[in-house]
Structure 1
Amino acid sequence: MKQYGMHFFILTCLVLLVSLPTIGLVNYLDASAKTSATYKDTRVAGINISGMTKEEAVVRLDNAVKDFANAPFTVTLVDGTALEVGKDVVSFNIDDTLEAISEPGDYPLITTIDEERIAPYLENQPVTMTMVTPPLVASASKLDSNVALEMVAEENEVVASMTISPTPAMRSALERMNGFEMDAGDMFSLKSFGEDFEALTPLGSSLYKLFAATPFKVLERVPHEVLPSGIELGYDVKIDAGSNFAVQNTEQSPYAIIVLDEGNVMTVQLLGKAFVGAYESRVEEVASVPYQNVIRFSPSLPAGSSSVTQSGQTGESGKLYRIRVTEAGETRELLGFDFYEPVPEIVTKSSVPLPPPEPVEPIIPTFPDETLDDDPFNDDIEDDGLNEFEEQPPVDEDVPASSEEAVG
């Protein structure tokens, strides 16, 4: 039995001694054949490697990549502006590219994007990472330095937009908002883009108007007790420690917020697949409520004085509807009913009584002395028989007759 085992061991060793060199020789011949093989009618990233071995093709493509890295990418944004991006954001795998070639044809270079390196180039730009990455890879794999984002935006369009004149604090929040992407079911929360509630409040009203004209679901929106100045009725949004504005993407496709800085104004666009139907928002059933006049009294005011301590403001209400128009007709969705109570006008009057008037001596009228001749109507004069105003009978007077005999 021991002899049989020894014989088997010796036989195995002999087989290995014969087969290992044979296997090695086969592998060598195979590798040698591959090394000496040349490509036929083959191009990689537009570089013709026909007639080259793999080693020769590696050198040729490596030199082409080095030449390609001498100039930056020119990325044409959706709005037509150009952005330069360094070539350090991409890397190439030449070996794997050549290994994958099995027959003649045109092949792209296997390209990888470094998102950490590309992120600084996209800050404050109206683009997102997912908008830039596919066209950048496509261009780099062909050693093409020109990148046009329109090539990936064929199915995307601006489905809603709004323009605002921002304060510095609002501008800061909008810049952080630029490029924010919402996949299906994702939520947009305004308070995640800033902590200045005074700046976020008017911004929230503008965004509420933007999302009201979309099918997005409004998750949170709180109005003020009194409609702030400059805010349109129906679109009031209050942002504070306990209030926020949030919406949810209820569509099955992703959407991105793009912010375009146009100097004194900034335009916010919602970019994505077109909605089924046309959306708009309307404020209807607007009503006003007159305010009351309230009078109060205070001893702190001078006697007889008053002042308006609170100006009156007319109350108002309105309903915001989301309107969807399709070929089948128009549908309406009530988004909010805002009611603002009237503010009464308060007038404060003095409760101090007025002082009594000072006594005034009576004035006795005086008249000048009068005579009988001056007052023909004086009733105090005794009547001596005839009223001098009565007509007197005529009196006959003797007139001496003239005489011719009279001697002068």
Structure 2
Amino acid sequence: MKNRHLIQLLAPMFIMTVLYVGVSQLGVFLYEKITSVSFIQNAEAASVDLSGKTKKQAIKLLETKVESWKGEQEIMLSFDGRDVLLESDAIAFHFKESVGALKEQGNSPLIVSIDEAGLNGFIEERFPGYHLDQFPGLQKRIEDATSMLKVEETINLDEYFEGEENVFYAGELDKIEVTPGLSSFIDANPVIDIPANARFSFLEFLDSNGSSVSSPDDLGPVASLLYELILHTDLAIAERNISTGLPPYATLGLEARVNPVTGQDLVFMNARDSAYTVTFSLHDNTLKAQISGMASPYEYKVRTTGKKEYPPRVVKQFSAFIPQGVLATTQEGKKGRLITVYRDKYSSDGDVIDEERISEDFYAPANRVEIWPLNAAETDATQSDDVSVQDQEDEDGSSESDSEGSTEGIREDSPEIEGDDAAPADEEEGAMDEQQSPDGNKNGTADKKDSSDVKTATKKKKEEK
């Protein structure tokens, strides 16, 4: 009896407890079920619309999209002259975490992780000699690209490559004239830093360092050697000037002129994330320099083509102050020169992967100026007549006819002209008229044809025949 009363007493309490716990758990279950039926409107993950989807539906949809993306994606890694397709095996997608981290509005990225060992093995296989540690920041860049399921993108590994300190090129100019200005500049600036992601101007560098050197002759060797150095790197030339004539210390195609007075400058750009360092040294009459920085997988070489030379012309002047048989020269002639400069980019395998046309340098020839005695003008004019007559004989095929009408024949046979003081001037004028005849025949001027002296000389010619 007592047990029955105890059961009757405890039974209601047990039932009430079960009901209380069951109802509370059922409420939580129903609440979660109701609140997780759909997402907030316009919710997206990696541009995949998930509006109105349950979590399971969203996860399933994302899994399908990612599998399709793996077969379509063309994310390329470009480096050392090669472009390789990124393998997606090293990329892990976390769908539940991605759905749980969705933003209420907007496009949310997927949560991804990359197997570092797998990515490192991929780089070592496709780019022999390199490994993941040499590309800090690359892993994050790949995660950003894949988390948005980008189908096409090229990731340039040059932007992330960091090698050891390396000397890219060393050059020198020998047998230069060491001026006080040049020596002062080297003493004050043995090292020039070219900052990362910056523009470098030679004139601005002079101003910022308070340099007093202003002569282009003092700065020419430094600017030319600096220009030669940067042509062996990836530095981009923005401005460069040359002299009117190639200086004796410079190599054709590698000269650069800087003049603070006229504003002629040497400007170039460093697009790398690391700086370059240029060091100068002066030994006797030799200027040496080298450029160094973080190592690059590429090598840059200078190539020249189309080299030509143009001979100078001779300009003759006549003066009464020059004695007979004496020749004075007021300006020595110089050859003109032309050359085209290219910069070739080589991969680590020695293959040319790019060529850049840098410049076409032209130095005009300088005329040779000679001063002759005044009485040499007659001889010079006579020689010009002979050349003109010979040219006419070749054209007409009749030397007999030409000799009869030549001014040289008139000078020999006509007494009227032999005693005339103005004869040399007339002969020179006749030669010019014959050379300028548009139809190729020797035609004198109207005044020359009507001259009684010319008629007399022609008549005597006929009589002699």
TM-based fold match above 0.5: no
After TM superposition, the score normalised by the length of structure 1 is 0.45
Structure having the higher helix fraction is: 2
Give the greater-gyration-radius structure (CA).
1
